[in-house]
Amino acid sequence: MDTDQTEELGLDHDDRRPRAEPDGPSEAFQTAVGAAVVLFVLIALVGGAMRLLGDGDGRQVGFEESGEQATGDPEASGGAATEAASPGASASGATPGASPGDPAGDPAGDPAARIIGDAPPPADTPVQVLDGAGDAARVSAVTEALGAMGYPVVAVNPASSSYDETTVLYTQGAEPAGLGLRARDPRFGAVEPAPGSLSTDVHLHVVVGGDWPATDGSTATPG
């Protein structure tokens, strides 16, 4: 091809060589993009799997806890029911050794019966009655109440001072007897140690107070 033919085709001398096409994305760049996409997909899959496993574990634990509360352990329940029963109780619910109508037969269930059981018998508890109310009718009512319970009244004397509340004064070692008297008849409300000025030949000194009713409405438990 001569110079004239070249000029007719519109080509100059520099355009005779084939022009190179522009380069596209490099192979390394494409590989990196592909790896990033794969990594992102893997992370998403792993995260979703962990969430699913976590929710499943939570539901399973809740089921087990609720199941334990609902069903429990039959042996443990039976043991608790057995322990709730009163020690020494028979199948009928009665306590061995207790007789019907005996207030001292069940001291654990009746505090007054326990106190009376710890006290000496009324017949073995001599009593002196002291008038702290200045009222012969009240003194007579107290003396009769003591006698009805079986307490021997060995003396009746005036008290050294006035008392508003009927009081049982016990000598040394006779506190159970004083508590037993109050347990038998709650009108003997106060129980205190006797002062040294009172005789120790008797166990109890009952001081009649102004609170004792002049007419004996007895609430005593016979000895």
With beta carbons less than 8 A apart as the criterion, state whether 184 and 116 touch: yes
Q: Which two tokens stand for residue 178?
A: 């004083």
CA 195, CA 199: separation in Å to the nearest integer? 9
Output phi, psi for 164, to 5 deg: -80, -30
User: How many C-beta neighbours within 10 Å does residue 116 have?
Assistant: 23
pTM of the model: 0.50
Residue entry with tokens 């994305």: 25
Of 43-52, 171-180, 206-215, where does mean pLDDT reach its minimum?
43-52
What is 17-45 written as a DSSP string? SPPPPPP-S-HHHHHHHHHHHHHHHHHHH
Read off the pLDDT of residues 52-96 as tens digits, 9 standing for 90 and up: 665 544 444 333 333 444 344 544 444 443 343 344 443 334 344
Read off the pLDDT of residues 3-25 as tens digits, 9 standing for 90 and up: 454 444 444 444 455 454 545 55
The pLDDT value recorded for residue 77 is 44
CA 82, CA 130: separation in Å to the nearest integer? 53
Class of domain 116-208: alpha beta
